[in-house]
Amino acid sequence: MHPAFSVIFLTTLIGAGQGLFLALFTSESYSAVGLLPKQSHTFYAIGGFLALLLLIAGLIASVFHLGRPERAWRAASQWRTSWLSREVIALPTVMGLVFLYATIHLFEWNPMFLGYGFGDKITLVLGGTAATAIFILFLCTGMIYAAIRFLKEWSNPLTIINFILFGGASGFMLASAYSSFYAPELVNFFGGWAIILTLSVWVTRSASLIRNARLKPTSTIQTAIGVRHTKIQQKAMGMMGGSFNTREYFHGKTALFLKSIKWIFIVLSFPLPILILWAGMQFDQQPLLISAFVIQYVGLLFERWLFFAQANHPQNIYYQTV
């Protein structure tokens, strides 16, 4: 497929935003049971708004993917059948819940329900709801790709697992950089989880790379045009200057280019940020923590580019003389 930068930015930005919120909520629930020191409301409020900012940035990027964004509201209507429609509902829901969570922390609200005050628990309840919504959003985003059975590179549970783990890894990376400003005692907690998540996604993404390398196409030129012969060559595609079919489904790069992107993404997403983060935690260096997140995010852009470019659509069989 042709990698569209709008979708690359959408999936990586909201992934990091979702991961950052999960990191914040994890630390808040840990401190609720006394496993971590309690943090100020401002810490969660600013972190929550930072996550919201990433989600909004992702939403803005997604608008560039649409031909007629002014009709985007219609996209919520087919939630019964379309994972894209489900994502269109889940994303604003997550944004709304994250906004509420951050606002309640910011103003330290303690709303009373039927004469009962929740105290600090209201944000825990809200955070739990938001975290659930975030996992649903991850599922929707992953299923948009995994549900297309024609693209065998995507049509696999690993797609969803990778989306969740990549989002989590970059979110916890960002959380450890963020906490170095407001809650230095949490840096190692977030950093530790960031390393665990990065290592796990290293395993699962490698598994999908290995799987993709061994895939055999279901359709062949023989089934595509219905002629039983081992030697069939396309001589004309039916147009001269290319068409939507020759632009949308091809990355237009060489195999060597793809291979180089693969190694760039592997180095930038996994070993390099882990090393830098570890050094940052070890030597208490804030710039290292920030660059660990930035480097991994850049690595994720390469990863997502390859994710699209590697998917080989069966319609390409009809357009072989590109």
Residue linked to tokens 């091809």: 250
Which of 30-38, 113-121, 142-150, 186-194 is the region at the interface with another protein (rule: CB under 8 A)?
Answer: 142-150
HSE (CB half, 13 Å, CA atoms) of 300? 30
Identify the residue among 112, 114, 210, 240 touching another protein (CB under 8 A). 240
Choice between 34 and 216, CB closer to another protein: 216
Is residue 151 close enough to count as binding another protein by CB under 8 A?
yes
Task: Rule CB under 8 A: say whether 119 interacts with another protein.
Answer: no
- Mark the segment that binds another protein (CB under 8 A) among 12-20, 25-33, 96-104, 236-244: 236-244
Distance CA 36, CA 86 (A): 36
Assigned token pair, 116: 């009962």
By CB under 8 A, is residue 318 in contact with another protein? yes
* Distance, CA of 159 to CA of 310 (rounded, Å): 13
Is residue 155 near another protein by the rule CB under 8 A? no
Judged by CB under 8 A, how many residues of this single chain contact another protein?
A: 57
* CB-count burial class (<10 Å; 0-12, 13-18, 19+) for 55: buried
Nearer of residues 1 and 197 to another protein, judged by Cβ? 1
CB of 86 to another protein, least distance (A): 9
Site string for another protein, 194-233 (x = CB under 8 A): ------------------------xx-x-xxxxx-x-xxx
Taking residue 185's Cβ as centre, other Cβ atoms within 10 Å add up to 10
State the helix-helix crossing angle for 5-32 and 41-63, rounded to 10 degrees: 160
Give the CB-side neighbour count of residue 19, counting CA atoms within 13 A.
30
Among the listed ranges 14-22, 109-117, 239-247, 276-284, the one in contact with another protein (CB under 8 A) is 239-247
Give yes or no for residue 65 binding another protein (CB under 8 A): yes
The two tokens of residue 178 are 């963020």
Task: Take residue 49 and report the two structure tokens written for it.
Answer: 């708004």
Residue 29 found at the interface with another protein (CB under 8 A): no
Q: How many C-beta atoms surround the C-beta of residue 273 within 10 A?
A: 28
Q: Of 223 and 282, which CB lies nearer to another protein in the complex structure?
A: 223
Residue 278 φ/ψ, nearest 5 degrees: -60, -45
276 neighbors 288 (Cβ within 8 angstroms): yes
Position 249 contacts another protein (CB under 8 A): yes
Interacting residue with another protein among 71, 111, 114, 216 (CB under 8 A): 71
Give yes or no for residue 256 binding another protein (CB under 8 A).
no
3-state secondary structure of 46: helix
Q: Judged by CB under 8 A, which of 57, 106, 207, 237 binds another protein?
A: 237
Contacts with another protein in 272-311 (CB under 8 A)?
none
DSSP state, 186?
G
Per-residue contact track with another protein, 73 to 102, x per CB under 8 A?
-xxxxx--xxxxx--x--------------
Residues 6+ apart with CB under 8 A from 5: 61, 64
**The dihedral sign for the CA sequence 17, 23, 26, 28:** negative
Residues forming the site for another protein (CB under 8 A): 1, 65-69, 71-72, 74-78, 81-85, 88, 144, 147-151, 218-219, 221, 223-227, 229, 231-245, 248-249, 313-316, 318-319
